[in-house]
Chain A
Amino acid sequence: MTVRVQYEDFDLGAEILKLRHGNSKIGAIASFVGLVRDLNDNARVAEMTLEHYPGMTEKALAEILEQAKQRWCIIDALVIHRVGPLKPADQIVLVAVSSAHRGAAFAACEFIMDYLKTRAPFWKKEQTEAGARWVDAHESDEAAAQRWV
């Protein structure tokens, strides 16, 4: 189980290769990559800045992975979340889960993302044509997380 919060970009292929390397019990890897969109709430986004709470963010992510491991028979899981300034089309987040069978990998990957969006301390600030604004939390994200309770 690996958690990384970093300014640098990540390489999905390289991360998956590391996740599956040398473990022939793995029959499935599901992954999710989140990207910066150029349009949010009807405003053009020129740049976005991701802020986090060093220490708590890593701890919250590790707890989410631990919960996933208790809920499904997964072999390993990885979360990489970027912070700092990002541009449209940049990668923000990677979640990857390995398991023996696809069902657990798919479910755990979705669970980790839903919990990350509502429980991990990150905050987005967008630079738009109308100025800078903090992104508001969406009720639909909380509803998505509640599906797993």
Chain B
Amino acid sequence: MITLLYFARLRESFGISSEQAHPPAHVVDVRSLTEWLRQRGGAWQEELAQNRPVRVAVNQDMAAPDRAVCDGDEIAFFPPVTGG
């Protein structure tokens, strides 16, 4: 089981801020996890489209698409940051 978190525009588009998920065995990294979520369709397909600038953090560290996703991980999806 993994924990998924969504922030800012993604949280609003998806209508949830967090969920527990049990991805199938072929989900092994950030890229395949994103693809799996995209297959939910609707806002998921739209917001996680490949041309959208989505950032991903694994266990609170910024993560590249090839970063491994392991059982128990906390994975956050969010738009580019705009603080300061």
Interface positions of A (Cβ within 8 A of B)? 34, 50-53, 55-56, 59, 81, 92-93, 113, 116-125, 134-137, 141
Contacts and interface: CB of A to CB of B under 8 A. Distances in A.
B76 A53 contact: yes
B36 interface: no
Given A52-B83, A121-B78, A136-B82, 9 more contacts: A59-B60, A117-B81, A119-B62, A123-B79, A123-B82, A123-B83, A124-B83, A125-B8, A134-B9
Nearest to A32: B84
Interface in B1-34: 5, 7-9
Q: Give the 5 A-B residue pairs with the shortest CB-CB distance, closest first.
A: A122-B83, A137-B80, A123-B8, A56-B60, A117-B84
Interface residues of B, number: 17
Contacts of A120: 81, 83-84
- For B8, B61, B78, which residue has the most chain A Cβ atoms within 10 angstroms? B8
A141 B78 CA distance: 18
A81 B83 contact: yes
A37 to B, nearest CB: 12
